[in-house]
Structure 1
Amino acid sequence: MKSERDVIVWHTLPHLEHESAIEMLSVNANDEDFIELLNETQQAIDAGINPVLITTGSSGSYYVRDKDGRNIGVFKPKDEEPFAEHNPKWPKYFQRFLCFCCFGRACLIPKSGFLSEAGASLVDQRFQLQIVPKTRIIRMSAPTFFYPKRLCGSEEIRSKIGSYQVFVHGYKPAIEVATDWAMDSPKCSLSEDEQRRFLYLFQKMCVLDYVIRNTDRNNDNWLIKYVPGSVLELAAIDHGLAFPVKHPETATRLRPFPFGWTFLPIARKSWDESLRKQLLELLSPLFVHRLCSDVKKLFICGGDNNRFLIENQMDVMRGQIWNLRLSLLAKESPADMVKRDLVVVTTKYRGRPQSNEWDDCFRANPPDYQGRGCC
């Protein structure tokens, strides 16, 4: 019998089986809440309330609304990603022709950002971090999406594949809320309990970014919801530039893409003990095997990427998890963790791991620095 983690199918929403019906690539049999969100999306589009292009950012991303005009999701089509052919934002169009040597990122698979977004949500779920708004891969169509014009006639409105992320309400960019908190400033207005809570949430984000090797974390794409004395939550978004096929440091000499939080004073604080214990209880060879298996299935079923490149992505991710575990055991800080020697990790076993000893199951090797380019 297949377990929930084996279920990966295209799911057409019930009662909406018409030409423009939304389809979801389901990675979990228990996605009823997300299916309900997609039902609201389809009902709004049928009522003429279409997604709205987000003016900021470098790609074609859209706020999706319900029938009341309230934002409920963010859709990022594959063919409107920063370096895709139908990106409606002009700066990337000019960069393709005028600065082609720095076009894209050598360590990433082109036009797979939508997979990366969903992969980050999956990793967040498996690590029980609960900081990434639920994200799934779907197909949908809307007249407000960017479509190439035909030589004669109107635009062809067709279904687009992309990532769909739940919109979170009441959150603000960290740069507007948490600058003093992250700088460990004496001006920090948080109580002692809130400071511990913020450190706990911040280190969860560090874990996520490190495992997926996020190359695009900055103070605009992690969000804070704060009500003094009542609510303190963190949401990490924008993971389209993660899951590299090689470590960025081995792909380029001039663009290493460091983690945006590395230089914050709070990153130098040791691991929160409750988070450290929680993660060490999870991290076993079998956990890593299942995680990589789930992510590979998602990437293979959701796109047309080369399986060899996907396996390279898993080697990098295993290496990051290898270092994360060692950092947790050593009771380091996130800032210390990122200084560890880079490794890529392959498996020694066939099928599934038969031991809980990491050295019996995995082989850690230094990455290959040959062939590095300038950009």
Structure 2
Amino acid sequence: MEGKPSAKRRVFVQTETGSVLGIELDRADNAQTVKRRLQLALNVPTEESTLMYGDMVLKNDLSTVRNDSPLLLTRNFLHRSSSTPCLSPSGRDIQHRDESGPIEILGCSNHFSGTKHLVRDIVQAMKIGIDPIPVHSGLGGAYYFRNCSGENVAIVKPTDEEPFAPNNPKGFVGKALGQPGLKRFVRVGETGFREVAAYLLDYDHFANVPNTALVKVTHSIFNVNDGVKGNKYQNRKQVSKIASLQQFIPHDFDASDHGTSSFPVAAVHRIGILDVRILNTDRHAGNLLVRKLDGVGRFGQVELIPIDHGLCLPESLEDPYFEWIHWPQASIPFSEDELEYIDLLDPFRDCEMLRMELPMIREACLRVLILCTNFLKEAATFGLCLSQIGEMMSREFCGHEEKPS
């Protein structure tokens, strides 16, 4: 019967300190039985805890939980002991309790077919001893995963290593998963969902967002801190993490290292259209990769690749940041193809798709998507160009006075 859950489902439960465990659900399971199993498996108290599924508090019935969904176990009180290490299950524990592979894509959508091939290559490389390597730039934990030739093919960002998250490897700790993060409108541990949402919303690869998926990945390279002080836990073991996995695109530089005059008008427009739809609050030059198509980079011979969408789809209408807003390409009217693409956008269909693919995404984020997409469609109908749309969405600053948009 359609819509009826199957007898066996698998979920990945993450504690607010980053521990992750895959659990097979039976029909008879409810929120309380899952929490009791977690207490035994992870050795964490669950009496004063809540099991969250996106916005939904799971009090008993689990029938709405889809297969391969990530759940979050949060504590109901503010006190958190500084002596409690943020440990994930050991490799031996995982072997006995979690039958999933080293990298599992969360969700079975055909949207992730390209990522599945990528994951197979990475797993083969891991089997012959080609391990991932940490990325030293940025505020959060990130890792290059490689293929059998040792080439970087994916970048993995664990949700519990984001800025302020419990296992951040660079000292930016102090909050639990689910609390307001680096920006108050994006919660700690939820930038990975947004990375995947941006990819899913980039229909027909219109803006050139690389293949991205939410995964559960197990490896000893990941960082685990000892308590809320953020001291690194030295005894490295196999740990499982919920993370975003994005295809690594070889490139020559980013937009901050290159004059914008050679950027194709269509590429700027397409990235701008996506940024407006998802209210991107962090589109700076450093997350626009530039690749020379002819090996030289003559005028018009470069490709733009947008990355780092973790601060899009905020929970409220916040100030976006659009690096392209003053580029000359943004003042050129939309082409007929671009206007047709905008006209065919359906924000309500987009929301249904995201609810299906990313059931943990918050309804407040979807409301922002609807508002921004409808604004884009109306503005394009009235003949506004990309720069005008971006300026209307941004606040104006006069000295120290802020004027609402």
Q: What is the TM-score with the length of structure 2 in the denominator?
A: 0.65
Equivalent runs, 1:48-59 vs 2, <5 Å:
48-59=129-140
Equivalent runs, 1:139-150 vs 2, <5 Å:
139-148=216-225
Three-state SS of the structure 2 residue aligned to 1:165 is strand
Residue of structure 2 in register with 1:333 after alignment = 385
Equivalent runs, 1:40-79 vs 2, <5 Å:
40-79=121-160
In 2 relative to 1, CA 111–32 (structure 1 residues): closer, same or farther, beyond 3 Å? closer
Per-residue CA deviation, residues 112-168 of structure 1 (Å, 9 max, x unaligned), is 000000000001136x51410010011111111112359999344221111000111
Could you tell me whether the CA contact under 8 Å between 1:44 and 1:65 is conserved in 2? yes
In 2 relative to 1, CA 241–136 (structure 1 residues): closer, same or farther, beyond 3 Å? same
Question: Are positions 1:200 and 2:266 aligned together?
Answer: yes
Question: Are positions 1:318 and 2:359 aligned together?
Answer: no
Residue of structure 2 in register with 1:371 after alignment = none
Q: Could you tell me which of 65, 68, 75 is aligned with 1:10? A: 68
Residue of structure 2 in register with 1:213 after alignment = 279
Question: Are positions 1:242 and 2:307 aligned together?
Answer: no
Per-residue CA deviation, residues 161-182 of structure 1 (Å, 9 max, x unaligned), is 11000111234212223x241x
Could you tell me whether the CA contact under 8 Å between 1:51 and 1:63 is conserved in 2? yes
Q: Could you tell me which of 189, 195, 198 is aligned with 1:117? A: 195
Three-state SS of the structure 1 residue aligned to 2:370 is helix
CA distance in 2, matches of 1:336, 1:9: 43
Give the deviation of 1:54 after TM superposition.
Answer: 0.6
Per-residue CA deviation, residues 36-72 of structure 1 (Å, 9 max, x unaligned), is 2111111212222111111111100111101221001
Output the amino acid matched with 2:68.
Answer: W
Residue of structure 1 in register with 2:162 after alignment = 81
In 2 relative to 1, CA 298–82 (structure 1 residues): closer, same or farther, beyond 3 Å? farther
Give the deviation of 1:25 after TM superposition.
Answer: 1.5
Could you tell me whether the CA contact under 8 Å between 1:215 and 1:241 is conserved in 2? yes
Which stretches in structure 1 are left out of the alignment for 5+ residues?
Answer: 12-16, 182-189, 249-255, 343-375
Three-state SS of the structure 1 residue aligned to 2:167 is coil
CA distance in 1, matches of 2:202, 2:125: 29
Question: Are positions 1:138 and 2:219 aligned together?
Answer: no
In 2 relative to 1, CA 257–324 (structure 1 residues): closer, same or farther, beyond 3 Å? closer
CA distance in 2, matches of 1:153, 1:180: 45
Q: Percent identity?
A: 25
Give the deviation of 1:261 after TM superposition.
Answer: 2.0
Question: Are positions 1:161 and 2:242 aligned together?
Answer: yes
In 2 relative to 1, CA 176–340 (structure 1 residues): closer, same or farther, beyond 3 Å? closer
Q: Which moved more, 1:223-232 or 1:149-158?
A: 149-158
Output the amino acid matched with 1:139.
Answer: K
Q: Could you tell me which of 233, 236, 247 is aligned with 2:303? A: 233
Could you tell me whether the CA contact under 8 Å between 1:78 and 1:113 is conserved in 2? yes
In 2 relative to 1, CA 257–319 (structure 1 residues): closer, same or farther, beyond 3 Å? closer
Output the amino acid matched with 1:121.
Answer: Y
In 2 relative to 1, CA 2–278 (structure 1 residues): closer, same or farther, beyond 3 Å? farther
Per-residue CA deviation, residues 96-116 of structure 1 (Å, 9 max, x unaligned), is 59xxxx962122233200000
Output the amino acid matched with 1:10.
Answer: D
Aligned length in residues? 293
- The structure richer in strand per residue is 2
Three-state SS of the structure 2 residue aligned to 1:238 is coil
CA distance in 2, matches of 1:137, 1:266: 33
Which stretches in structure 2 are left out of the alignment for 5+ residues?
Answer: 4-65, 70-97, 395-405
